Structure 1
Amino acid sequence: MKQHFPLKDIQQEKRIYRGRIFFAVGLVIICLLVLASRYAYLQIFHYDEFSTASDKNRIRLQPLPPARGYIYDRNGVLLADNYPVFTATLSKADVENVDTVIEQLQPILELTQEDVDRFKSRIKTARKTERVAIKLNLTETNIAKFSEVKYKFPGVRIETQMTRYYPHGDLFAHVIGYVGRINDKELKSIDKDLYAGTNLIGKIGVEKSYEDLLHGTPGYESVEADAHSNILRHLGRKDPTRGNDLYLSLDYGLQVVASQQLAGRRGAIVAIDPRTGEILALVSSPSFNPNLFVTGINHKDYSSLRDNIDQPLYNRAVQGVYPPGSTIKPMEAMGGLHYGIVDWATAISDPGYFHLPGDSHKFRDWKKTGHGIVNMHKAIIMSCDTYFYILANQMGIDQMNQWMRQFGFGQKTGVDLPSESEGLYPNPEWKMRTRKSKWMKGETISVSIGQGAFTATPLQLAMATAITANHGSHVVPHVLRATHGAKPFTVRNAPDGKINFNGTDEDWVKMREAMIDVIQSGTGRGIRTPLYQIAGKTGTAQVKSIAQGKRYNEAALSERQLDHGLFVGFAPADKPEIAIAVIWENGRHGGSAAQLAKPVFDYWLLTRKKNPIRPANHQVNGGLMTAGIKPGELPSGNESASSTPATSAPTSAAASTPQATPTRPATNEVDE
């Protein structure tokens, strides 16, 4: 059977084909228009916005932390140095899950829980691209372990950063202080831009007081980085400005000698230039190694220091408060002259005790049989308690308080060191406020010999002694002598007025003569010398109270119940260059404390002038800078302050001059 096939409709097929072509072309045109409009949106109308966003993905602004300023003594001996350590860092922009990365790094970098907590605290407030330290001061083992698995942590880098080093260990710990890792409290108060990339901040001492000068200003570097934070190109850079160098009034050699006197003892020695208020030495014993704190002290070391019965972390010179004992008698006697209660001829008969009218209680003199007929001059030489009992009873606590505060007692001295104690000069208002009871006249008697509730710091005693040496000119103790760097700063270095005194300059001269006789024939005669004259006053502060009718029995007391020994003095007596205060805890009596002061006087007035300190050269920023300046000179450049020239040196010397030869640790040294 014959099949029939329908004829093709050519025209119809052409129409269908053309329709498909038109649809496809239209679809392509529409897609092109969409792409063109999107392109215009991105590249024309929002070019600046998206170009910037794109650059942020590949161009980063990295902070360049400033090097911390160096700290030198008055001779140019380096006291605080910087040296490089390896540090592990990362930024939030480099990793997807920070917590996971840190958890994986813990066994590799030997991270402690303190390291982890510190990092997490810092990363919270850091900018997305800011690199935050995971751990400072990596060991070679840490670096080797990390190198083996580095490919697993594309956002983590090992960088070289500068950290602090104290080449003289515990010698200057309480005055220089130390830096440490920035904590949560400090993070809330610091300028985050100023501390970008910085891990350390001053914690105590000069490092804290002058943090603003020492820190410097950070710089920034613009870099192009890939998705794994590898730097491809360096695009631009603004260098950081290093912090100011500080030149302190401290003398390395004097600090060594003062520290040697307190070796194995508890106590403090403070030496001041009475003409300027410059602190020449400040020693608190025992001390500690500040390098332990720089990158984070471990729990074992910190517990050992914290729980030590001798309290090495306690700055006895500035924070320690002690009954000043008889060391304040010269100042108190000048108060009697000021108020016209006594003069130099006023004499008493001392039977060895004093009692208030109508009261049988006896206030005993240290000498059981008394001192006989005593005027003011003899009262100072023999440290006659009874004389000052009578003077205090006539003067009254209010006048005593008003007068003694002029010497700095009961208030901060204004020293440029943190955490200074005020001490206490008690009075009726204080007792009512703190103990809710009235002042008793017997308390005035106790205060008159530096006992009772009266307490003072060794620094306050040194300042009061300097004022006495100055014939009443008031000085503010300070450790900063000059500064050199980009930040201007004015150093105070001169007396700031005189105390209000109604007597004459001759009265100050007579007091000086009485204090000279203390050394020549009185309670301080154990340190007299033909080479120069010392004016001084010994003191003994009772630690354990003695019941009425009982006598002091040293044999029945434990070592820590023995009396404290104190001494204050200045020399040369006619033209003072140095004023000293010494406290020897449980040193038994003031004569013992005076023995500790003698080598300090000898070094400053004899040895130092014959054999001045010659510090080693100091390597800075790849170039050699002579750290030493001539004794008495200041560095050239952006500085301030001046020094009064010392008098000519005697021909003999007491001991050899300690020479400063500090060394830096190896870069992989571990400071827990």
Structure 2
Amino acid sequence: MWIKRRIAIKDHAAEANLFARRAIIALILVVIMVGLLLSNLYNLQVNKYSDYQTRADGNRIKVQPVAPNRGLIFDTQGVLLAKNTPVHSLDIIAEDVKDIDALLVRIKTLIEVSADQEKSFRRALKQNRRRRFKPISLIDRLTDKQTAIIAVNQHLLDGVLIDARLKRDYPYADLLTHALGYVAKINPKDAARIEADGLDANYAATRDIGKLGLEKYYQNLLHGDIGYRKVEVNSRGRVLREMESQAPTPGNNLHLHLDIELQKVAQQQLLGNRGAVVVLNAVNNGILALYSNPSYDPNLFVHGISSKNYNALLASKDRPLINRSTQGQYPPASTIKPLIGLLGLEQGLITEKTKMWDPGYYQINDLEHKYRDWKKWGHGHVDIYKSLEESCDTFFYDLALRLGVDAISEKMVKFGFGEMTGVDIFEESSANMPSRAWKAGRFRQSWYAGDTVSIGIGQGYWTSTPLQIALATSVLANEGQFFEPKLLNAIESSTGKINSPAQDRPPIVLKHPNNWKIIKRAMRNTVEKPTGTAHKAFVDTTYQAAGKTGTGQVIAIAQDAEYDKDKIAERHRDNALFVGFAPFDNPKIVVAIVVENAGGGSSNAAPIARQIMDTYFAKHPLAADSLIPILSPLP
């Protein structure tokens, strides 16, 4: 049997030294490793403490932007026109959701989600692809029952939040839409504009923005400044406690010249008709009423209008989305005759005593074509007073032709025709003040004498907005003093209330200031004298009004044809117009009315102006000296 033999140790000292060296090396390696470990621990715990603390806090602590409350809007008497109402919305943070489709299916098993709401959500989700951390609303306005159902099941709905916030509300619905406008969700175009203006940080928590009217024009005043709150959250993102906060600065409140009572009268009087009413404070051209009919409820847009409702507004032949008071382009008709007469007096082509014979028509140099007067048997001998009082067309055909289009166009622009009025909403048309150059550029045609004859009675190529007509008449009533029309009266912030000054333009100065009084007296005759076209509408008023009626032709009538409204399509009938001011001796109010396809201005527009003026003076009784009749006889 073989027995393993033990190897004898030959050199005990050498082997001890080898072991010692290996042990020392191992010890050194251990020390180095421990040193590296301690060094790294020091680096993590000391050098990078703040970095990792920030990361940890980022998981535990969130800084949430807080949207400011939007400023309120009041009328001239302090009546609240636009307010903020608390609502609950169902929001989704896409970053916290693994499967959006599955989440939507789960939500729809709990509460009703319309097709429009889901479509809008998916569109917003696509548009905000780079900002998946931002909440996106699925339902803007939850009912109490829906809120309770989602709250109970929220632990099953990752990424779903119930957000309580203030939403814009318009208590007067369609009464003020075209003046106030509305707010709606911020879309990509809005976001791009906000970013370009360097305001994206201030809009971090804002969801709605002014889209129309005052809400858009004064967006920066109404919005306010953002706040924040620092909160501690758990692993699921639920807020455990608020650690720190800074309240947002609410937007400024706006106080308007608008009088809600006059606005109501305007709506009542236009009921069933298309048209517009503009009422100005004659002292500073503050807008007391600005109404366009038909209108629509702006609250539909605030909460997200359905495709069905929006398409109905777009398809309506009555065009409710158009603000007729500032965008409607109408022939001003006879409402501009006072201004044509004023220009004739200034040019010396007529005087207070100039008379002409009106046989019921007018011919240019005995040409065959006859420009008819509305009174086919004529007005007989007429001067500036009678021509305005009875609205004689023939007098102004002749005067316009002698003035020429160049002089008329140049002077009427100074009264505000053919340009923006300066009103504080963006939805405005300049309409058209024709000239030779305009026609050459537009139609590549020469200007003819017949074109000039037509604009002498506010027809032809001349179009204007109701606001332009009111503004020009205000300048006339104030004998050249020119203020831009404004809705805003005062701005109220946390520091107090500041009145918004009236913005004036250079006044219109006449060579013969008495010409103002001649034209104004003629407008007074229109209301005061029994033969005046507006007399019936203003019988027994407690104030002295002055004005001018107008009947705007929509389609041309053949020379040998008679106008018969019963044989003409409703939308081809004449427009009814009236413009006036009161009191005559110290104007306080200017009213302009346009009623589409209603017929004569004396019977269809002037009575509306009477109701508005009655309402105004019932609230603002006149001083005794304003009630004294004019002692000098009317011409």
**Please, what TM-score do these two structures have when normalized by structure 2?**
0.90
For residues 443-476 of structure 1, the C-alpha deviation after alignment (integer angstroms, 9 at most, x for no partner) is 0111110111111111111111111111121121
For residues 34-81 of structure 1, the C-alpha deviation after alignment (integer angstroms, 9 at most, x for no partner) is 322222333344444444333333322210000000000000000001
Partner of 2:64: 62
Q: Which amino acid aligns with 2:186?
A: I
Q: Does 1:393 align with 2:391?
A: no
Q: Equivalent residue of 2:285, what SS?
A: coil
Partner of 1:629: none
Shift of 1:552: 1.5
Find 1:153's aligned residue among 157, 165, 168: 157
Q: Equivalent residue of 1:503, what SS?
A: coil
Query: Which aligned pairs between 1:329-478 and structure 2 lie closer than 5 A?
Result: 329-357=337-365, 359-478=367-486
Shift of 1:106: 6.1
Q: Does 1:176 align with 2:184?
A: no
Shift of 1:222: 1.8
Q: C-alpha separation between the residues in 2 aligned to 1:103 and 1:196?
A: 29
Query: Which aligned pairs between 1:495-644 and structure 2 lie closer than 5 A?
Result: 495-504=504-513, 506-520=514-528, 521=530, 522-530=532-540, 531-591=542-602, 592-606=604-618, 608-609=619-620
Q: Equivalent residue of 1:276, what SS?
A: coil
Q: C-alpha separation between the residues in 2 aligned to 1:205 and 1:184?
A: 20
Shift of 1:103: 6.9
User: Contact conserved, 1:92 with 1:123, CA < 8 A, in 2?
Assistant: no
Partner of 1:53: 55
Partner of 1:167: 171
Q: Equivalent residue of 2:326, what SS?
A: coil
Change (3 A) 1:380 1:650: closer
What percent identity do the matched residue pairs reach? Answer: 38
For residues 199-251 of structure 1, the C-alpha deviation after alignment (integer angstroms, 9 at most, x for no partner) is 11111111111111000011011223233212234232111000000000001
User: Contact conserved, 2:281 with 2:589, CA < 8 A, in 1?
Assistant: yes
Shift of 1:7: 8.4
Q: C-alpha separation between the residues in 2 aligned to 1:169 and 1:38?
A: 67
Q: Equivalent residue of 1:120, what SS?
A: helix
User: Contact conserved, 2:125 with 2:136, CA < 8 A, in 1?
Assistant: no
Partner of 1:123: 128
Q: C-alpha separation between the residues in 2 aligned to 1:180 and 1:137?
A: 13
Change (3 A) 1:23 1:490: farther
Q: C-alpha separation between the residues in 2 aligned to 1:527 and 1:229?
A: 69
For residues 152-176 of structure 1, the C-alpha deviation after alignment (integer angstroms, 9 at most, x for no partner) is 3343321201100011111111111
Query: Which aligned pairs between 1:59-138 and structure 2 lie closer than 5 A?
Result: 59-91=61-93, 94-95=96-97, 105=107, 110=113, 112-121=117-126, 123-124=128-129, 126=131, 130-138=134-142
For residues 233-272 of structure 1, the C-alpha deviation after alignment (integer angstroms, 9 at most, x for no partner) is 4232111000000000001111111111011111111100
Q: C-alpha separation between the residues in 1 aligned to 2:248 and 2:326?
A: 35
- Name stretches of at least 5 consecutive residues in structure 1 with no aligned partner: 611-645, 652-672
Q: Equivalent residue of 2:245, what SS?
A: strand
Q: C-alpha separation between the residues in 1 aligned to 2:623 and 2:556?
A: 45
Q: C-alpha separation between the residues in 2 aligned to 1:495 and 1:15?
A: 107
Shift of 1:113: 3.8
User: Contact conserved, 2:287 with 2:485, CA < 8 A, in 1?
Assistant: yes
Partner of 2:630: none
Q: Which amino acid aligns with 2:450?
A: G
Q: C-alpha separation between the residues in 2 aligned to 1:542 and 1:217?
A: 51
**Please, what TM-score do these two structures have when normalized by structure 1?**
0.85
Q: C-alpha separation between the residues in 1 aligned to 2:594 and 2:161?
A: 51
Q: Equivalent residue of 1:321, what SS?
A: coil
For residues 79-128 of structure 1, the C-alpha deviation after alignment (integer angstroms, 9 at most, x for no partner) is 001011112334466456667756765665626244324532563454x7
Q: C-alpha separation between the residues in 1 aligned to 2:2 and 2:137?
A: 94
User: Contact conserved, 1:131 with 1:197, CA < 8 A, in 2?
Assistant: no
Query: Which aligned pairs between 1:252-263 and structure 2 lie closer than 5 A?
Result: 252-263=260-271
Q: Equivalent residue of 1:265, what SS?
A: coil
User: Contact conserved, 1:62 with 1:130, CA < 8 A, in 2?
Assistant: no
Q: Does 1:492 align with 2:498?
A: no
- Name stretches of at least 5 consecutive residues in structure 2 with no aligned partner: 628-635
Q: C-alpha separation between the residues in 2 aligned to 1:570 and 1:595?
A: 14
Partner of 1:192: 200
Change (3 A) 1:453 1:103: farther
Q: C-alpha separation between the residues in 1 aligned to 2:244 and 2:95?
A: 21
Q: C-alpha separation between the residues in 1 aligned to 2:96 and 2:265?
A: 54
Q: C-alpha separation between the residues in 1 aligned to 2:510 and 2:126?
A: 56
Change (3 A) 1:304 1:649: farther
Q: Does 1:236 align with 2:244?
A: yes
Change (3 A) 1:216 1:647: farther
Q: C-alpha separation between the residues in 1 aligned to 2:431 and 2:549?
A: 20
Q: Equivalent residue of 1:318, what SS?
A: helix
What RMSD, in angstroms, separates the aligned Cα atoms of the two structures?
2.8
Q: Which amino acid aligns with 2:44?
A: L
User: Contact conserved, 1:132 with 1:197, CA < 8 A, in 2?
Assistant: no
Q: C-alpha separation between the residues in 2 aligned to 1:227 and 1:93?
A: 14
Shift of 1:413: 0.5
Q: C-alpha separation between the residues in 1 aligned to 2:280 and 2:508?
A: 18
Q: Which amino acid aligns with 2:605?
A: A
Shift of 1:316: 0.7
Partner of 1:658: none
Shift of 1:342: 1.1
Shift of 1:369: 1.0
